[in-house]
């Protein structure tokens, strides 16, 4: 373990509401968080719809490391470290496919889809003394949640739902079908992947509602257009939340999960981004019809609107998941998965694909604005002088969050939407992971559910 000169408590000072820039650029801190955070957390690695049949596989990441996500002959999802036990070569080099055996390209050691070592070509009896069961691929703990696949290397970690600490209520709304059906969503097409010169934590914690009015100003004011040509950006988000009694909040969990939540209501204001599709009757009618079914299934909760970011590196934008994979202290590989209803007509899926391409990803209208700032703040923060100056997370520092279960009947700690509380919760939890020896020390004493 790398020793850090400054204690993490000083690197992340949540009483003062400050965070040291070192945690976004220091190699020693980065090496430590790969062990302390990424070896012990539950990490999103994909969705079951990407590997529907036995033998289907895809490559994913856990922290910096490549993993094979595959479905074995028993239909169980397996997550295997993509590193040969012989001399460490990548065992699988295809992004996706179907295979019952993964054969290493160096000396041909072969593993089945549970990771077991099943063949040692040309060894000529030379491995007769080797206990082959001990030399399979490393196998992660796996849990699925409404089709989404999560994995951890830590056998002592709590179950995935315990890890969520109540955030499952919000995560669930994202992965249901629009009609509220279980396992109703699928990943549309491939995964969009791009590299950006910033630390993985920069795009992570949700919510940062004070950036939109200026970061996305050209989009809102100059273009004034939404993805279908309809002017939907103007007046959305935080501005809309403050037009009446506050319904949108920052919601955080002591477990480090953060999100923006718009409370469910009896009116239909939130249904399926209705305004976006005003000039696309096919989508509008499809969503309207599915939303009616959703209301019957979920009642008032049908209109709960949320974008949960699950600690450490997962986050939602609408019905899009972004995963921030660390690739060194100053490099992040962002993987974006687009979700649609699996039983939606092809026409609807095609329209949604077009919508997603225009909004999200490296060429998307909103993401490229954000990327510009994330990159520039990295350049402007990594120098020796800049590193001496802490970053400010003091908005609403002295306000106590509202306990969601007692006030709203919903889990989480609620603060007004213009607040740094979600960021503070994220960095507090990060510091706890960096300091804790094991999961006993990481157990949350006062769950917000």
Binding region for Fe ion (CB under 5 A): 370
CB of 137 to ligand FES, least distance (A): 11
User: Which of the choices Fe ion, ligand FES, none does residue 213 contact, using the CB cut-off of 5 to 8 A by kind?
Assistant: none
Selection from Fe ion, ligand FES, none that 370 binds (CB < 5 to 8 A by kind) is: Fe ion
Question: What is the rounded CA–CA span in Å between residue 216 and residue 239?
Answer: 14
Q: How far is the CB of 57 from Fe ion (least distance, A)?
A: 34
Rounded distance between C-alpha atoms, residue 196 and residue 322, angstroms: 13
Residue 400 gets the label, from left (phi > 0), alpha (psi -120 to 50) or beta, of beta
In whole angstroms, the minimum distance from the beta carbon of 317 to Fe ion comes to 9
Find the shortest distance in angstroms from Cβ 45 to Fe ion. Answer: 25
Nearer to ligand FES, 120 or 187 (CB): 120
Report the residue number, 126 or 409, with the smaller CB distance to ligand FES: 126
Give the span between the Cα atoms of 191 and 416, in whole angstroms.
Answer: 34
391-392/18-19 β-pairing? antiparallel
- Rounded Cα–Cα distance for residues 47 and 72 (Å): 15
> What is the smallest separation between the CB atom of 124 and ligand FES, expressed in angstroms?
15
Task: Find which of ligand FES, Fe ion, none residue 288 binds, CB within 5 to 8 Å per kind.
Answer: none
Nearer to Fe ion among residue 102 and residue 356 (C-beta): 356
86 binds, among Fe ion, ligand FES, none (CB under 5 to 8 A by kind): ligand FES
> Given the complex with ligand FES, which of 104 and 287 has the nearer CB atom?
104
Q: Give 271's contacts (C-beta < 8 A, 6+ positions apart).
A: 287, 288, 291, 302, 303
CA Rg, the chain, in Å? Answer: 23
Of residues 215, 180, 241, 141, the one with CA closest to residue 377: 215
The DSSP bridge partners found for residue 185 are 341
* Residue number, 109 or 430, with CB nearest to ligand FES: 109
104 binds, among Fe ion, ligand FES, none (CB under 5 to 8 A by kind): ligand FES
Looking at beta carbons only, is 88 or 246 nearer to ligand FES?
88
CB of 234 to Fe ion, least distance (A): 16
Tell me whether residue 33 or residue 370 sits nearer to Fe ion (CB atom).
370
Residue 89 interacts with, from Fe ion, ligand FES, none (CB under 5-8 Å by kind): ligand FES
> Tokens 């179907």 appear where?
98
Residues that bind ligand FES (CB under 6 A): 84, 86-87, 89, 104, 106-109
The Cβ-side half-sphere exposure at 421, using a 13 Å CA radius, reads 23
| 84 contact, one of ligand FES, Fe ion, none, CB 5-8 Å limit per kind | ligand FES
CA distances to 103, 259, 283, 353 from 350, in Å: 37, 28, 10, 5
Nearest to 28 by CA among 63, 64, 4: 4
Q: Do β-strands 185-187 and 332-341 pair in parallel, antiparallel, or remain unpaired? A: antiparallel
In 3D, which of 10, 26, 5 has the Cα closest to residue 381? Answer: 26
- Closest contact distance (angstroms) between CB of 369 and Fe ion is 6
- 24 vs 109 by CB, closer to ligand FES: 109
Closest CB 80 distance from ligand FES, rounded Å: 14
87 contacts which partner out of Fe ion, ligand FES, none, CB within 5 to 8 A by kind? ligand FES
């Amino acid at each position: 373990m790398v020793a850090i000169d400054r204690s993490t408590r000083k690197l992340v000072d949540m009483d003062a509401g400050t965070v040291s820039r070192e945690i976004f650029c220091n190699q020693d801190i980065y090496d430590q968080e790969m062990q302390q955070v990424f070896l012990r957390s539950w990490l999103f690695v994909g969705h079951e719809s990407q590997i529907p049949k036995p033998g289907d596989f895809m490559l994913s990441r856990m922290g910096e490391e490549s993993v094979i996500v595959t479905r074995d002959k028993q239909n169980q999802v397996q997550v295997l470290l993509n590193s040969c036990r012989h001399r460490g070569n990548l065992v699988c080099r295809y992004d996706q496919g179907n295979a019952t055996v993964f054969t290493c390209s160096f000396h041909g050691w072969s593993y089945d889809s549970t990771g077991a070592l099943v063949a040692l070509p040309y060894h000529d009896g030379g491995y007769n003394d080797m206990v082959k069961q001990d030399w399979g691929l490393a196998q992660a703990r796996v849990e699925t949640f409404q089709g989404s696949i999560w994995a951890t290397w830590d056998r002592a970690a709590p179950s995935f739902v315990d890890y969520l600490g109540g955030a499952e209520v919000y995560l669930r709304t994202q992965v249901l079908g629009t009609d509220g059906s279980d396992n109703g969503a699928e990943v549309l097409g491939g995964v969009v992947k791009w590299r950006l010169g910033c630390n993985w934590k920069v795009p992570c914690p949700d919510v940062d509602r004070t950036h939109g009015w200026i970061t996305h100003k050209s989009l809102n004011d100059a273009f004034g257009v939404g993805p279908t040509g309809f002017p939907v950006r103007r007046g959305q988000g935080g501005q809309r939340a403050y037009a009446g009694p506050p319904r949108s909040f920052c919601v955080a969990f002591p477990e480090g999960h953060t999100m923006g939540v718009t409370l469910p209501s009896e009116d239909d204001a939130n249904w399926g981004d209705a305004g976006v599709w005003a000039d696309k009757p096919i989508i509008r009618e499809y969503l309207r019809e599915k939303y009616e079914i959703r209301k019957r299934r979920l009642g008032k909760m049908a209109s709960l609107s949320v974008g949960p970011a699950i600690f450490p590196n997962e986050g939602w934008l609408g019905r899009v998941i972004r995963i921030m994979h660390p690739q060194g202290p100053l490099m992040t590989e962002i993987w974006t998965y687009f979700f649609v209803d699996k039983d939606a007509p092809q026409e609807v899926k095609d329209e949604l694909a077009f919508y997603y391409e225009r909004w999200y990803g490296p060429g998307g209208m909103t993401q490229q604005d954000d990327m510009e700032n994330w990159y520039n703040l990295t350049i402007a923060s990594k120098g020796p002088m800049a590193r001496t100056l802490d970053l400010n997370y003091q908005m609403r520092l002295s306000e106590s969050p509202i306990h969601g279960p007692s006030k709203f009947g919903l889990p989480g700690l609620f603060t007004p939407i213009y607040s740094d509380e979600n960021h503070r919760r994220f960095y507090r939890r990060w510091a706890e992971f960096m300091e804790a020896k094991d999961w006993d020390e990481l157990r949350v004493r006062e769950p917000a559910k």
